[in-house]
Chain A
Amino acid sequence: MKFKLLELRPLRVGTVVVATLLVAGWAMRPLENPAWQAVRSGQPAMKLDSLQGALGQGVTVGLLGGFRAIVADFFWIKTNSVWSDNDLPATQTLIKLVTAIDPRPLYFWQNGARMIAYDMPNWRIVGAGGYDVVSKAAQQQIEREQSAVALSNLNEAFGYHPDSVLIYVEMANVYLNRLKDVASAAEIYHKAALQPDAPYYVARIYGELLRRQGRNAEAYAWLKQLYPTLPKEAKDSASGRQPTAKPQPSAAEIEMAMAPVVLERIREIEKELKISKNQRFMP
């Protein structure tokens, strides 16, 4: 009987250990949960479904924790290596993997989408015999397919970078340059232009895309309301007025805003719309 009890000792010890850990884990939830929520909100979660295709790496990445950004960088180097070999499946998988490991840098989303939308159609067409062999319709079909993948990736990026202007611009460019869909491109440029941190060129391009669609009246209204918001050369010293308290824009900012170009376009549209001199925009 004593022998049997001794035999049961490891089982008893194991049960006590597991039971104590269970109770301790439950009791420590109030300490763990708020801390865990804070950690989670500070960093995007690892997307398990995206990493399942690369189980080995997934485990390593999870294990290394702090190496997350570096692991993503090294996978990005690998992505560029397979990209230079025109290896479509590997490139597409690695882009997915890199953005799953570290979705924070916009760089990965932007450049990944460019590879998918602009380079991959070329690889597929060349792989199918070249531009002379593949029919125009088939080429367009390939471009549409690759654009859809790129746009889907960019849409996913909004999960980590809500209303990011650069992601909007990237999407709009795919519509504009790949799909030749000016209306959709204009719509997305409009969304980008409405963001508070939008660069000046975004609003200008939106105006141009409206003109390209023949929507001159809308373009005119848009540029007219845009022009007063743009930073311009200060006229205070020339007019002898007192300088305002408002901080003066830098020379670089004035250059990027390109207010004279916007005014020139306003004048062009006025001519096209045959707007009389007395009704013209007066800045």
Chain B
Amino acid sequence: MGMTTGGVPFSLTRLLIVAGNTFTEAVRQKLFNFLLLLAVALVASAQFFREFNFGSSELKFISDFGLGAMVFFGSTLTIAATAQLFFSEIENRTALTILAKPIWRTEFIFGKFLGVFAVLGVFCALTTLLLAGLLCSRENSLMALHPDAFPGGRIIHYGDLMAMGMLQWLKFGVLAAITLLIASFSNTNLYTVVMSFFMLVICHLQYLAHDTYAQVASLPLRLLVRLLGYVFPNFQVFNLADQVATGVGLDAGVVLRVAGYALAYIAVIGGLAVYSFRNREI
């Protein structure tokens, strides 16, 4: 499969058709509905769990709980849905039919990605709006009960909350691209899911290795860890949730940088998934 497929130029329309089909297939999946329901239920129940809060303020607890649910179920959905939607095409042999037609593997991979990304967008939008509604309702009640505690007006910056929802969506995009990269050379769905979860953990914890090995005396070991740090994206940069319900606003510059970081990684890892998939015998 070369840069042209039977002389057919690259087509955005074909890519969007693949994306549309992937989206429809994903929404029909029980897994998507189940995880969405679970996440929505957990976010909605945040206010009932607030009795368990000891350390932080009530609004911060609800915000942490809601965003935590979004991160947890969103990551699970990203990995499971991406792997499932990719391998359903391979296992049902529909990939052979599709790729026998004049369609680029780039269109196939990025179509799959866009379909999953759209599903994740729906997931993030729903959970973020629900969380914002919950926080707004509770903040209104608290402001009526304890006006002295809100001398500067509202504590929650709802624009920041939306920005957080968007950043999580972009992070799931990077994770979906990683899952597609693994799927592009993997033979089984299970291997892809397990490896993607490992990658998720590594990308979340790579900064700890960085910090720990920065003090190691051995120069080769320090260099090795530094190089490994370059290979894996740092998912902790998306963790701006701590500042959402503290009354301290998010820095727009930081949000833009993180968004740029995610988009650049999506492009690079997506490109690598295409490269790897083009070298694969189906």
Interface band, chain A? 35 or more
Whether the pair A35, B208 counts as a contact (CB closer than 8 A) is no
User: In the complex where A38-B251, A59-B205, A62-B204 touch, is A72 in contact with B231 (Cβ < 8 A)?
Assistant: no
Q: Which of B191-246 contact A (CB under 8 A)?
A: 200-201, 204-205, 207-208, 211-212, 227, 229-237, 239-243
Q: How far is the CA of A259 from the CA of B61 in the complex (A)?
A: 38
A156: interface (CB < 8 Å): no
A65 close to B71 (CB less than 8 A): yes
Task: Kindly state the separation between the CA atoms of A32 and B237 in the bound complex, as whole angstroms.
Answer: 7
Whether B33 sits at the interface, judged by CB under 8 Å, is: no
- The reply to whether B230 and A66 contact each other, CB–CB distance below 8 Å, is no
Q: Which chain A residues border B269 with CB–CB below 8 Å?
A: 21
**A62 adjacent to B208 (CB under 8 Å):** yes
Which of B65, B208, B248, B254 is the one whose CB lies under 8 Å from A34?
B254
User: Are the CB atoms of B279 and A13 closer together than 8 Å?
Assistant: yes
B137 → chain A closest CB, angstroms? 20
- Min Cβ gap B43→A in Å is 12
Answer yes or no: A77 CB below 8 A from chain B CBs. Answer: yes
The one of A28, A46, A69 that contacts B55, using a Cβ cutoff of 8 Å: A69
For B272, list chain A residues within 8 Å (CB).
Answer: 16-17, 20-21
Q: A10-B185, A70-B64, A107-B54 are in contact. Are A24 and B201 (CB under 8 A)?
A: no
How many angstroms from the CA of A74 to the CA of B54 in the assembled complex?
Answer: 9
Residues in A whose Cβ lies below 8 Å from that of B227 = 22
* Closest-CB distance, A143 to chain B (whole angstroms): 27
Q: Is A238 an interface residue (CB 8 A)?
A: no
- Nearest-neighbour CB distance to chain A for B276, whole angstroms, equals 5
Q: How many angstroms between the C-alpha atoms of A235 and B100 in the bound complex?
A: 94
- Nearest chain B CB to A5's CB is how many angstroms away? 12
Q: Which of B45-69 contact A (CB under 8 A)?
A: 49, 52-56, 60-61, 64-65, 67-68
- Binary flags per residue of A43-59, CB closer than 8 Å to B gives 1, else 0: 10110100000000001
Q: How far is the CA of A283 from the CA of B225 in the complex (A)?
A: 68
* A48–B64 touching, CB < 8 Å: no
Supposing A36-B236, A38-B254, A39-B237 touch, asked if A102 and B264 sit within 8 A by C-beta, the answer is: no
Among candidates B52, B204, B268, B279, residue contacting A77 with C-beta atoms closer than 8 Å: B52
Q: Indicate if the CB atoms of A25 and B230 lie closer than 8 Å.
A: yes
Q: What B residues does A9 contact at CB under 8 A?
A: 279
Judge whether A42 is part of the interface by a CB distance below 8 angstroms: yes
Establish whether residues B230 and A31, one from each chain, have CB atoms under 8 Å apart when the complex forms.
no
Chain B residue nearest to A77 in the complex (CB): B52
B275 CB within 8 Å of chain A? yes
Q: Are A48 and B55 in contact (CB under 8 A)?
A: no
The residue of chain B having its C-beta at the shortest distance from the C-beta of A25 within the complex is B230
B181 at the A interface (CB under 8 A)? yes
Q: Which residues of B contact A16 (CB under 8 A)?
A: 272, 275
Interface residues of B in 237-282 (CB under 8 A from A): 237, 239-243, 248, 251, 253-254, 257-258, 260-261, 264-265, 268-269, 271-272, 275-276, 279
The distance in angstroms between the C-alpha atoms of A264 and B93, with both chains bound, is 92
- Contact at A31–B60, with CB atoms within 8 Å? no
Answer yes or no: A206 CB below 8 A from chain B CBs. no
Does B54 lie within 8 Å of A73, measured CB to CB?
yes
- Which residues does chain B contribute within 8 Å of A138, judged by CB atoms? none
Question: Distance (Å) between the CB of A191 and the closest chain B CB?
Answer: 24
Known contacts A34-B257, A69-B64: A25-B232 contact under CB 8 Å: yes
- Residues B233 and A25 in contact, CB atoms below 8 Å apart: yes
Which of B231, B269, B279 has the most CB atoms of chain A within a 10 A radius of its CB?
Answer: B231
Decide: B239 and A39 in contact? CB cutoff 8 A.
yes
Verify A67–B231 contact, CB threshold 8 A: no
CB pair A105 B204 closer than 8 Å: no
Closest to A42 in B: B243
Asked whether A161 is an interface residue with its Cβ less than 8 Å from the other chain, the reply is no
Given known pairs A26-B230, A34-B257, the reply for A64 and B268 (CB within 8 Å) is: no
Please report A residues at the B interface, Cβ cutoff 8 Å: 9-10, 12-13, 16-18, 20-22, 24-26, 28-29, 31-32, 34-36, 38-39, 42-43, 45-46, 48, 59, 62-70, 72-74, 76-77, 102, 104-105, 107-108
Query: Closest 6 CB pairs between A and B?
Result: A105-B55, A25-B230, A67-B68, A66-B68, A66-B67, A43-B242
A-B contacts, 21 of them at CB < 8 A, read A21-B269, A25-B232, A28-B264, A34-B254, A34-B257, A35-B257, A38-B251, A39-B236, A43-B239, A48-B211, A62-B201, A62-B204, A63-B205, A65-B241, A66-B241, A69-B60, A73-B55, A74-B52, A104-B55, A107-B54, A108-B55
